[in-house]
Every structure is written in structure tokens, then in C-alpha cells.
Amino acid sequence: MRVKICGITKLEQGDAIAQLGATALGFICVPSSPRYVSAKKIATLIQGLSQPVDCIGVFANSTVAEICQTVTATGLSGVQLHGNESPEFCQQLRQSLPETEIIKALRVRTTQCLTNSESYANSVDMLLLDAYHPTQLGGTGKTLDWTTLKNYKPCLPWLLAGGLTPDNIVDALSLLQPDGIDLSSGVERSPGDKDLGKVAQLFTKLKENYCLNY
Ligand SMILES: O=C(O)c1ccccc1NCC(=O)[C@H](O)[C@H](O)COP(=O)(O)O
């Protein structure tokens, strides 16, 4: 199972989180976020990591040119689109960045969102389901209604996000079988400042309950 920890802003924390078992680190490229990191900073963070890990840049309603520029400048291995990007936009991005993983985040407001997720089948590699919030795009700490996802079997692999914590992860994974999980505020002290104790607790829970080998 993939485990993505999002909102990394400090090298020592990103490195420690990768060593604890994260398979992906997320870097927020949305300037209005308190977790925003510039392309220059992301490049430094990625270069400083002591072990290989997927490095995902999180964008919201950026242009193809802006995303390509950031990917080229940083060495990101993937991008997560967290705004209102259409399947056509994702297709265009894929043509411009054929080697880069593309994850489309859907902020689930109604069950119609889940049906619409099928329209991304040919334009992205993975889906991420996050909670809807009226004023914030992500990192809200708000959970999805997991029961509405019980029969969700999309045509693409998917990550469960939204308000996951070391305390609720076992409940979430006992109901759902995503291909991976994504956490941000549930493992931090304040926006962008990760709590390594909470990250360690998360991996302990995952190992105890799912026999994960890290
Ligand atoms: O985290 C942010 O500040 C953010 C800002 C703008 C767009 C996306 C953002 N985060 C995206 C993520 O992938 C978060 O990990 C995801 O929303 C889950 O966050 P949380 O509920 O805090 O675990």
C-alpha cells in the first residue's frame, strides 16, 4: 500500500518520514497554502533526501506551462491536481509530461463526484479522494463519509485522504480498501511542521494491523 505524507516543508522531517516508511512525500505548490514551498525550495529538499521516495507536487488550477516549469526545475516524480482540472486538461498535461505520474484529487461533495471520477480513466494514473471544504482546497483535517465509499471500485488505483490520523486509520481501512493513503494535518503540530511522533504512531498501527513490511 502506498503511504503519502503531504505538506513537507523541512528536509530533516521529509527524510525522517521517508525512513519511517512513507512511499511518497507531497510538496504544496499552491501559493495560498500555509504549507506552500517554492520550486527552488522543493529542488533543495528533493536533492537532500537520503533515500529514494516518490516526490509529488500538489497544484490547484495552475496552467500546464506552470506545472511543467516546476517539474523541470525540481525533479518531482509526480503531480497531484487538487483544483478543478478537467479530464481534457489532464490529457494535455500528460502529453507535456509523459514520464511524470499524474494524480487527480477529487474533493467529494456528493456521490455524483464518485461517478464523475470515471471520466479521468484515460488521462491520469491515480485518483485521490479528499473531503470537500467550502473555503479550503486541502489539508483541512475534514474526513469523508467513509460509508459512501464502501462500494467505490474505480477504474484506476486510488488514495484515501481527508482527516486521516494515527487514531482513525484502522477504522478507515477496516471499511475501505484503497490502494494507498494520504495524510497531512493528522500528523503535524502546525501547518507544514510534521510531528514525527505521530508519523511513527501511524506506521506502528499500519504494521500491527496490516503486516506491512517497511
Ligand atoms: O495541504 C494543503 O495546504 C493544500 C492546499 C491546497 C491544495 C491541496 C492541499 N493539500 C492536499 C493534500 O494532499 C492533503 O494531504 C489532503 O488534502 C489531506 O489533508 P488532511 O485532511 O489534512 O489530511
ipTM score assigned to the predicted complex = 0.98
Residue 62 beta carbon below 6 angstroms from any ligand 1 atom: no
Whether 130 is in the pocket of ligand 1, judged by its Cβ within 6 Å, is: yes
- Model pLDDT, residue 111: 85
Q: What is the pLDDT of residue 211?
A: 57
User: At 178, which amino acid appears?
Assistant: P
Mind telling me the catalytic residues?
6, 130
The pLDDT assigned to 214 comes to 45
DSSP 8-state class, residue 84: -
H or E segment at 88? helix 87-96
Instruction: Work out whether strand 188-190 and strand 193-194 pair parallel, antiparallel, or are unpaired.
Output: antiparallel
For 9-73, strand residue ranges (E) read 24-28, 54-59
Of all atoms in ligand 1, which is nearest to the CA of residue 105? 13
Say if residue 127 is exposed, middle or buried (CB neighbours under 10 Å; 0-12, 13-18, 19+). Answer: buried
> What was the pLDDT predicted at 113?
86
pLDDT in single tens digits along all 214 residues of the chain: 999 999 999 999 999 999 999 999 999 999 999 999 999 999 999 999 999 999 999 999 999 999 999 999 999 999 999 999 999 999 999 999 999 999 999 999 988 888 889 999 999 999 999 999 999 999 999 999 999 998 898 999 999 999 999 999 999 999 999 999 999 999 999 999 999 999 999 999 999 987 555 4
- In 3-state terms the chain splits into helix, strand, coil percentages (rounded to 5) of 35, 20, 40
